[in-house]
Structure formats: structure tokens, C-alpha cells
Amino acid sequence: MAMRSACLLLLLLLTASMFFSMLPAADADDEAALLAFKAAAVGGNSDALASWNRSIDGGYCSWEGVRCQGRHHRVVVLSLPFCGLTGVLSPAVGNLSSLRILNLTYNEFSGSIPASLGRLRHLRILNLSRNAFSGPLPTNLSSCTSLMVMHLRFNQLSGSVPSEFGNKLTRLRIFTLAYNNLTGSIPASLGNLSSQLTSLRVLSRLTLALSRASFSLTSASTTSLAISLSPYTTCL
């Protein structure tokens, strides 16, 4: 009996040790992802990322545009609108597994939207509008099943709208794609969301042809769903 109790205690200690040893790793992963973002987001006309270094009191949670939550200090907001940032969006952002809001509107990012963003299962707001992103819409974005707001307008995106968006993004309320170079038809699957989408803006300067999906959309309730981004910094 004593031997059994000792073995059980040892097992509990090993389990606890493994658990607590993983906590700093999560912090390190978030910091590494942010530093990778900084390295890829070169240029700009502001000092928005000047605070992004390890010498700042409070660590990465006190960096400009970053908000953390919980006792493990996981990054839940990355918001740097109007910062004039250039370069590309690092795929490492997909490692911010607790991210709720990604707001990079009014910058000058180019290149493709990383498919790794599809790993952000808790993401609720994605705003990449008014940049210079090009290439196709990543089908992997359909894995962001918590998305409520997705703004991708005013970029240089091409190709078609993935049908998976309508099948998997069941919480989506606002979806904007205007002023891109998209082609093809609006997927009929988006008709599955017609009862909950309050704003669907895809037709301005697009060559999208309407499919048979029916949409009964209004903008009256968009105010309640447009979660405010203003508390999360601006570079103006």
C-alpha cells in the first residue's frame, strides 16, 4: 500500500511538473509570434512597433497594439490600424492561438493572406481591409469558426470566394469583400447564412455573378455587432 501511494504521488508530481513547464512555453510562443510579425512588417511612417522589444516593462502584453488576457497572459488582441506598415503578414500570427481580434486595416501589407490564420479558432474579428493583399482567399479561413466579422475589402485579392465560408462560418455576421479582383459566382453556401448576415458587401467593382442563393440582408443591426476596435490603439 505504501509503495502504491508513493507511486501515485510520484505520478501526480510528474504530471504537475509537465503542466507547469508548458505554461512558459505558451508565453514564449506568443512572444515569438509577435516578434516574427514585427520582423515581417517592415517600414511604415510611425513608431508603432518601437515598443516591441524585451526591455519594456510588462513584457509583450504592454507592447503597442497588443492586449493579453488571463493568468497565462495569452494574446487576445493584435490591433495596429493606420500605422502605414508594409512588408508581409507573417504566418507566425497563426500561432497566436488565443487571438480574438486581428485588426490591421489601413496599412500597406502586400503578399498573400497566410493560410495559417485558419488555426485561429477563437478569432472573432478579422479586419485586413485597405491593404494590398493579393492572391486567392485562403480556404483555411473557413476553419476560423468563431468569426463574426470579416473585412477584406480594398485589397487586390483574386480568384473565387471559397464555398467553405458559407458551410463553416456559421457565426459570421458581417462580411465585406468589395474592391478586389475576385471572379466567379457568390457561393450558394452563403445562402445558408442569409438569416444572420447583417452586412454582405461583395459586389462593388467585382466581377462576381449572383448565384441562385437568396439573401435577405439589412444593415439596421450592424451597430450591435460591430464590436468596437477603437480601444485597441491607432497609429494616427
Distance CA 178, CA 131 (A): 13
What band does 66 get if pLDDT is binned at 50, 70 and 90?
A: very high
Are residues 88 and 40 in contact, defined by beta-carbon separation less than 8 angstroms? yes
For residue 3, tell me if it sits in a domain. Answer: no
- On whether residue 64 sits in a domain, the answer given is yes
CA distance 151 to 107: 14
pLDDT tens-place string over residues 92-118: 999 999 999 999 999 999 999 999 999
CATH of the domain at 190: 3.80.10.10
Which element (helix H / strand E) includes 135?
Answer: strand 132-136
pLDDT tens profile 213-233: 333 333 333 333 333 344 445
Residue 137 per-residue DSSP state: P
Q: For residue 223, give its domain range.
A: 23-232
| Amino acid code (one letter) for 95 | N
| pLDDT for residue 145 is more than 90 | yes
Percentage of the chain with pLDDT > 70? Answer: 69
Residue 17 lies in a domain: no
Q: With respect to residue 13, please indicate whether it lies within any of the assigned structural domains.
A: no
175 DSSP β-pair partners: 150, 200
Is 5 a domain residue?
A: no
Helices and strands of the chain, counted as H and E runs: 3, 11
Say how many C-beta atoms besides its own lie within 10 A of residue 212's C-beta.
8
Q: Residue 175: is its pLDDT beyond 70?
A: yes
- How many domains is the chain partitioned into structurally? 1
The answer to the question of residue 11 being in a domain is: no
Output the pTM of the full model. 0.78
Question: Using an 8 Å Cβ cutoff, are 174 and 199 in contact?
Answer: yes
Q: Is 1 a domain residue?
A: no
Cα separation, 63 vs 205, in Å, equals: 38
Query: Lowest mean pLDDT: which of 47-56, 85-94, 149-158?
Result: 47-56
Q: Are 121 and 146 in contact (CB under 8 A)?
A: yes
Residue 202: pLDDT band with limits 50, 70, 90:
low
Look at residue 173 and tell me if it is in a domain: yes
